[in-house]
């Protein structure tokens, strides 16, 4: 049988240029729209043990799919070196992602290295990880011991049949729920008051598949101290067969939730936050922190490009400036060809200075740029969510 490959190499070979004049990190880096660089999402693997149809559909990512060879992946030392330079430019948060990041062997070693990094002011970073939860029972305690602070767990429903249909590998929902308990037992996401405000659950909503799970999910996590976030089904990559009629707008989702739970809008917890926050209200119509909150991530119907402060580093060292990008910038070549820290930091500075990405805004105005022949948007499984 022939191997099936989504052509990515023609998208990932833009060189990362070192400017003639050094760009010295000072924490004040801004792009063409004045957006700072604060959040770096690092993909550590392009593999996953689930086949969710909105990310890695089985008909594409089958037994013949060719994954990246290990030699192409950034080593933990290379990732830590790049992360340190991003921190010098102002990054305050690192999120490890994939694929499924817990499939990367000895990931705890990388977490230990990243946990030692400090901002120029000497503060520790916000170090977090996104996972499908399938391996958390085995991994949670070790991740916490290595220095991981919190996790975000993808869970698209509580009904076992629906969940198995969405992950498409017949994985039971009970094992993910057990993984969530393991994360709590390990103290991942635990706050100073003994709650778990740093532990988040992400649910991608696809109308034809898990619409009926919205209320049960909200009912299950309400009052648990865990924040549930609903994500609009997005047109990431080229393989998930995205259709607008499968998208449930977040405004409609909030209206649906309010048929059962009184909600009040909350302020964003940090600049550039992707989720709009809603708190459960008590009988007086006032937010009750004991009941918790939900979030909605609305990149299809309510673009948040205006204050997006995130960059994404692929597992083989390509820097992407947008989740919907078609081209990255090759930092791995600089790393492996002997570039100095100063040169790599200058290259990162130049890339961010030139950034003008706003795909979701343009899509919302029916103005998204026409694709360049031979280019396809990067897959979520390659760059992470």
3-state secondary structure of 88: helix
Pairwise CA distance, residues 232 & 249, whole Å: 7
Residue 4 lies inside a defined structural domain of this protein: no
**73 contacts 101 by C-beta, under 8 angstroms:** no
For residue 365, the model assigns a pLDDT of 65
Q: What total number of domains does the chain contain?
A: 1
Condensed to tens digits (0 to 9), the pLDDT of residues 34-71 reads 999 999 999 999 999 999 887 888 888 888 899 999 99
Residue 3 lies inside a defined structural domain of this protein: no
The DSSP code sequence of 109-177 is HHHHHHHT-B-TTSPBPEEEEEE-STTHHHHHHHHHHHT--EEEEE---SSHHHHHHHHSS---HHHHH
Residue 49 lies inside a defined structural domain of this protein: yes
For residue 300, the model assigns a pLDDT of 78
For residue 237, the model assigns a pLDDT of 52
3-state secondary structure of 344: helix
Among the ranges given (23-27, 46-50, 277-281, 326-330), the one the predictor scored with the smallest mean pLDDT: 326-330
Residue 130 lies inside a defined structural domain of this protein: yes
Residue 273 lies inside a defined structural domain of this protein: yes
Q: Residue 280 is part of a domain; what is its CATH number?
A: 3.20.20.70
Inform me whether the pLDDT recorded for 157 exceeds 60: yes
Would you give the DSSP letter of residue 2?
-
Inform me whether the pLDDT recorded for 334 exceeds 70: yes
Condensed to tens digits (0 to 9), the pLDDT of residues 342-367 reads 999 999 999 999 999 886 777 666 65
Inform me whether the pLDDT recorded for 29 exceeds 50: yes
Residue 275 lies inside a defined structural domain of this protein: yes
Residue 172 lies inside a defined structural domain of this protein: yes
Condensed to tens digits (0 to 9), the pLDDT of residues 184-226 reads 999 999 988 777 889 999 999 999 889 999 999 999 999 999 9
Beta pairing partners, 15: 330
Inform me whether the pLDDT recorded for 228 exceeds 70: yes
Per-residue confidence at 376, pLDDT binned at 50, 70, 90? confident
Per-residue confidence at 301, pLDDT binned at 50, 70, 90? confident
Domain that holds residue 343: 9-383
Pairwise CA distance, residues 216 & 228, whole Å: 12
Residue 277 lies inside a defined structural domain of this protein: yes
For residue 375, the model assigns a pLDDT of 66
């Amino acid at each position: 049988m022939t191997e099936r490959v989504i052509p990515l190499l023609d998208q990932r070979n833009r060189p990362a240029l070192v400017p003639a004049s050094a760009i010295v990190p000072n924490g004040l880096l801004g792009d063409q729209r004045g957006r700072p660089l604060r959040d770096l999402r690092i993909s550590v693997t392009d593999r996953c043990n689930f086949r969710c149809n909105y990310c890695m559909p089985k008909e594409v990512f089958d037994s013949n799919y060719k994954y990246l060879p290990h030699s192409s992946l950034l080593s933990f030392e290379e990732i830590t070196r790049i992360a340190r330079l991003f921190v010098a430019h102002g990054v305050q948060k690192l999120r490890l992602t994939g694929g499924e990041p817990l499939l990367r062997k000895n990931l705890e070693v990388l977490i230990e290295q990243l946990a030692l990094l400090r901002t120029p002011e000497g503060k520790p970073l916000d170090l977090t990880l996104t996972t499908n939860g399938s391996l958390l029972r085995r991994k949670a305690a070790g991740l916490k011991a290595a220095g991981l602070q919190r996790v975000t767990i993808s869970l698209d429903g509580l009904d076992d049949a629906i969940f198995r249909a969405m992950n498409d590998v017949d994985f039971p929902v009970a094992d993910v729920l057990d993984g969530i308990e393991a994360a709590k037992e390990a103290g991942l996401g635990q706050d100073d008051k003994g709650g778990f405000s740093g532990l988040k659950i992400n649910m991608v909503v696809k109308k034809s598949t898990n619409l009926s799970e919205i209320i049960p999910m909200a009912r299950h996590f309400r009052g648990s101290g865990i924040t549930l976030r609903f994500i609009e089904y997005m047109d990431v990559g080229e393989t998930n067969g995205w259709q607008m009629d499968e998208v449930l707008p977040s405004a409609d989702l909030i209206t649906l939730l309010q048929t059962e739970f009184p909600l009040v809008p909350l302020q964003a917890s940090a600049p550039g936050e992707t989720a709009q926050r809603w708190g459960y209200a008590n009988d007086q119509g006032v937010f009750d922190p004991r009941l918790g909150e939900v979030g909605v991530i609305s990149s299809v119907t309510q673009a948040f490009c205006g204050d997006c402060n995130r960059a994404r580093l692929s597992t083989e060292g390509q820097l992407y400036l947008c989740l919907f990008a078609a081209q990255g910038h090759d930092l791995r070549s600089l790393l492996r060809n002997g570039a100095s820290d100063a040169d790599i930091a200058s290259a990162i500075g130049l890339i961010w200075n030139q950034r003008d990405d706003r795909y979701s805004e343009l899509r919302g105005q029916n103005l998204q740029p026409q694709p360049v022949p031979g280019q396809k948007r990067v897959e979520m499984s390659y760059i992470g969510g």
